[in-house]
Amino acid sequence: MANTYTRLHIQFVFAVKYRTAMIDNTWKDRLHGYMTGIVQNHNHKMLQINSMPDHIHIFIGLNPEQSISSLMQRVKTDSSAWINDSGFCKSKFLWQKGYGAFSYARSQVDTVIRYIQNQEQHHRKQTFLDEYRKFLTVFEVDWDERYIFKEPE
C-alpha cells in the first residue's frame, strides 16, 4: 500500500511437540534454510534463525501485509510436512501448538541476533522453559502456566 512505512522486528519462539529433542544437528541447517525460504517467499526478511533439539528461534523483519498468525501457521505447517517428507525422524514430527512473538526496537536488533546465534551456549545455563517464562515476564505478557509448552515426556 502506498504511503505505508514500517520497520517491525519480531522474534518467534516455538517448540517441538512435547518438547521432544527431534531437531538433529545433521539436518538443522537444512531446516533453517527451508524456513528462511518460507519467510522470504512471503516478503519478510529473515534476520536470524537458530534451533536447539527441542525448540527454535526465528527473528524477522515483518511485512505488515501478512498477519503474524498466518505466517506462523505457514512456517509450522510447511516445515513439519517437509521434515516428515524428508524422512529425517523415525516418528512423525510435529510442532507444539502456539508460539511466542516478541517485538523489538531497531536499536535491539544486533543484540537479539547475537542472542539467537548463541543458543547452544545460552542453554548450558538456562532451560528452555525458564527462558520462555522470562520472555513472557520481561515483555509483560499475561500467561497461564497450563498453556506453557509441555515438559519433555
pLDDT tens digits, 90-129: 999 999 999 999 999 999 999 999 999 999 898 888 888 8
Q: What is the pLDDT of residue 130?
A: 87
Domain boundaries, the chain: 9-147
Helix (H, G, I), strand (E, B) or coil at 57: strand
The model's confidence at residue 15, banded by pLDDT at 50, 70 and 90, is very high
Rounded Cα distance between 49 and 56, Å, is 8
Q: Which of 141, 150, 30, 143 is nearest to 79 (CA)?
A: 30
Q: Please give the class, per CATH, of domain 9-147.
A: alpha beta
Judged against a pLDDT cut of 60, whether residue 153 lies above it is answered with no
Rounded Cα distance between 76 and 36, Å, is 12
pLDDT digits (tens, 9 = 90+) for 29-86: 999 999 999 999 999 999 999 999 999 999 999 999 999 999 999 999 999 999 999 9
